[in-house]
Amino acid sequence: MESDKKRFHDHSQAREYDRKAAGSDFRVRLTPMLLEALEIRGPEWVLDLAAGTGRFARPVANHLEGGRVVGLDEALAMLRVALEQNEKEPIPGFLPAAGAAETFPFRAGVFDRAFTALALHHFGHPSLILREVRRVLKPDGSFVIVDPVVPPARDSLDKAVHELINEIFRHGHGEHFHYYSTADIEELLTGAGFRAVRSNLCVMSVDQDGMEGVPTGRHWLEVAEQIRQAAPEMRRRFEEKYFRYEKKDDIVHVRGNFTLALVSGRNQ
Ligand SMILES: C[S@@+](CC[C@H](N)C(=O)[O-])C[C@H]1O[C@@H](n2cnc3c(N)ncnc32)[C@H](O)[C@@H]1O
């Protein structure tokens, strides 16, 4: 597997990421959910943490009436694509910022809202980052995490499948890669001192040829291929809770569910 994090630092791959993101159905579904969870009221300051090419910053900025969206990302190539898009069609009030989420270049208490989309699973130090988010939020400010999630663990077999998935992903994506369950994300938020934590799910049911439109789809298929070599009960549980696939010639047919969670908390 090619490391996801590396590709964010390459300009042509960042452009390709943006091209796919622009036509993605799940983003169309997630955007109103994100706007609702953010509860923006008027000309607020919003932090888009790990903003990438600004595909969520844009609808959030369009929703603000006179506020600002600060898009922080450590990958200059992704921010450069955001700026190229901004030149073609301005993202109102968008301020790109280069930097790592672990050490924010911001003063305490400056943001009304914050969100991070499709990035938590890349963060090496999530607890530290969440505490940083709390520091830069105003009292009563809200923070929304959007990320793919694994289903809740019912028993030890579910936990073993979850661990194996993350182990396989880590081989190709670096030691920090981690897909959480919704409950894990809620725990991360409360652990960092957020309160009134609540979650919404966006379930994508697929029955299609190929992985087009599934977040990290190509890599999920690689994971499923490796799980086929694991113990039969692991494979069965994976197919029951995640997805199954059949290969005919060069076509892969996929049937199952992929879930994204929007988990929000308030600063206290
Ligand atoms: C899958 S992209 C998501 C981008 C954007 N939020 C979106 O929804 O399109 C993940 C982004 O997280 C950024 N990222 C990962 N770890 C980071 C960190 N520690 N600090 C800042 N950015 C980070 C990457 O550079 C990349 O742009």
Question: What's the pLDDT score for residue 234?
Answer: 95
pLDDT digits (tens, 9 = 90+) for 151-181: 999 999 999 999 999 999 898 788 899 999 9
| Top mutation candidate among 74, 80, 116, 169 for ligand 1, by most atoms within 8 Å of CB | 74
Mutate to test the pocket of ligand 1, among 118, 144, 147, 179 (most ligand atoms within 8 A of CB): 118
Q: Is 122 in the pocket of ligand 1 (CB under 6 A)?
A: yes
Assess contact for 148 and 121: CB atoms under 8 A: yes
Q: What percent of the chain has pLDDT over 90?
A: 85
CATH number, domain containing residue 217: 3.40.50.150
Q: What pLDDT is recorded for position 105?
A: 87
The residue whose two tokens read 């959007």 is 146
Task: Report the number of distinct structural domains present in the chain.
Answer: 1
Identify whether the C-beta of residue 31 lies closer than 8 Å to the C-beta of residue 10: no
pLDDT at 3: 56
Q: Which atom of ligand 1 has the smallest separation from the CA of 8?
A: 25
Cα separation values, 199 from 152, 184, 186, Å: 13, 11, 8
CA 114, CA 250: separation in Å to the nearest integer? 43
Structure tokens at 264: 């929000």
For residue 221, give the nearest of 206, 232, 233 by alpha carbon: 206
Parent domain of 8: 4-266
The best mutation among 2, 34, 58, 122 to test binding of ligand 1, ranked by most ligand atoms within 8 Å of the C-beta, falls on 122
Q: Report, as ranges of residue numbers, the positions in the chain whose pLDDT lies below 50.
A: 1-2
Span from the CA of 122 to the centroid of ligand 1 (angstroms): 7
Q: Which of 70, 143, 69 is nearest to 113 (CA)?
A: 143
Q: Check residue 1 and give its pLDDT.
A: 42
Nearest residue (by CA) to ligand 1, atom 4, is: 52
Q: Is the CB of 50 under 6 A from ligand 1?
A: yes
The separation between CA 213 and the C-alpha centre of its own chain, rounded to angstroms, equals 14
Please indicate whether residue 100, judged by its CB atom, sits closer than 6 Å to ligand 1: yes
State which of 3, 5, 8, 16 you would mutate to test the pocket of ligand 1, scoring each by most atoms of that ligand within 8 A of its C-beta. Answer: 8
**Residue 4 confidence (pLDDT):** 62
For residues 214 and 204, give the distance between their C-alpha atoms in angstroms, rounded to a whole number.
8
Coil/strand/helix, residue 67: coil
pTM: 0.95
**pLDDT tens for each residue of 66-94:** 999 999 999 999 999 999 999 999 999 99
Query: What is the model's pLDDT at position 7?
Result: 84
Give 208 Cα–ligand 1 centroid separation in angstroms: 28
Per-residue confidence (pLDDT) for residue 8, from 0 to 100: 92
Q: Looking at residue 235, what is its pLDDT?
A: 95
Say if CB 172 and CB 226 are below 8 A apart: no
Ligand 1 centroid from CA 95, angstroms? 16
